[in-house]
Amino acid sequence: MEDYLEEFLVNLNTVNSGSRHTADSYRRDIRRFNDYCVVEGCESYNDVDRTIVMGFINYLRTGKKALSDRSLARNLSSLRSFYRYLNEAGYAQGNPFAAVKSPKKNEKLPDFLYEDDIDRFLGCFDLSDDMEYRNRTMFEIMYGCGLRVSEVAKLKISDIDFHNDIITVVGKGSKARIIPFYPVIRDLLQHYLKDIRPSLMNGEEHDYVFVNQRGKQLTSRGIEYILDGAVRDHGLMMKIHPHALRHSFATHLLAAGVDIRIVQELLGHANLSTTQIYTHVSMDHLREAYDKAFEK
């Protein structure tokens, strides 16, 4: 069995140019199955029947080293591929894993912050400090307009319409969308653009709204670094990443009763199904708030 495994891995590397990491995963998954077969008295891969397969899956699901659904699905995929090779090479007849369905991967709900957490985070910046003011403005608009970090980095002064309190954002797929902003964002932006950004430009000439201390456009990575530093420096006991602010925007709108198609438009989602994940988060949010309000 071990010889067949090594042949399979050589073929994998030759035919599919598999990475070393992929080969190691296959080796680990298949070797675990080989060990189980030996314990069950299987002398060849043709001895493996449905009872052996179901027993192996139960073995993977239980015990101290029980696999997650994601890891189990990967294991089953490895063994299907391995058996296809055994069939093609004439080492085995049939594929006992072909009819076995992999577990569905659990849909990961997006992280978000409650309203009071958002208030606490945005309220931690010292607005008498120019860099802190820039940061507050940047994160306020990221949350208040549901922007991706890349969209904040690419935002230009020409994208802002203060007469109508809207910004034009070009998102994924070069798709433009118009997003309104509330008075706090307007006030922060106007003061930043008039009194703070000019002092940071350092001779640079461009239209990007958010700049670093050398006057150059802030990158997405730079914004992430600033966010990490703000959470750390202000001693906030919360986990915040840039997308969590966008997730919070969507969740709070839905919790407030905003129509899901309006939220879809504001987020720039091509498909409504992408936006619908926030309805699950929103309902959990409402349930927790309800339970908290009526707890005894």
Q: Which residues are known catalytic residues?
A: 148, 172, 243, 246, 269, 278
Listed residue (18, 4, 25, 21) closest to 85, CA to CA:
4
Q: How far apart are CA 274 and CA 222, in angstroms?
A: 27
SS3 category, 161: strand
SS3 category, 19: coil
Q: How far apart are CA 125 and CA 15, in angstroms?
A: 56
Q: How far apart are CA 86 and CA 5, in angstroms?
A: 9
SS3 category, 170: strand
Cβ atoms of 143 and 230 within 8 Å: the answer is: no
Q: How far apart are CA 168 and CA 95, in angstroms?
A: 55
Alpha helices in the chain (DSSP H): 2-16, 20-39, 50-61, 69-89, 115-122, 130-144, 149-154, 183-191, 197-200, 220-233, 242-255, 260-267, 272-294
Cα atoms in the Cβ-side hemisphere of radius 13 Å centred on 211: 22
Strands, sheet with 176-180, edge to edge from the N-terminal-most edge strand: 160-161, 166-170, 176-180
* Dihedral in degrees, nearest 10, Cα atoms 134, 139, 140, 143: 160
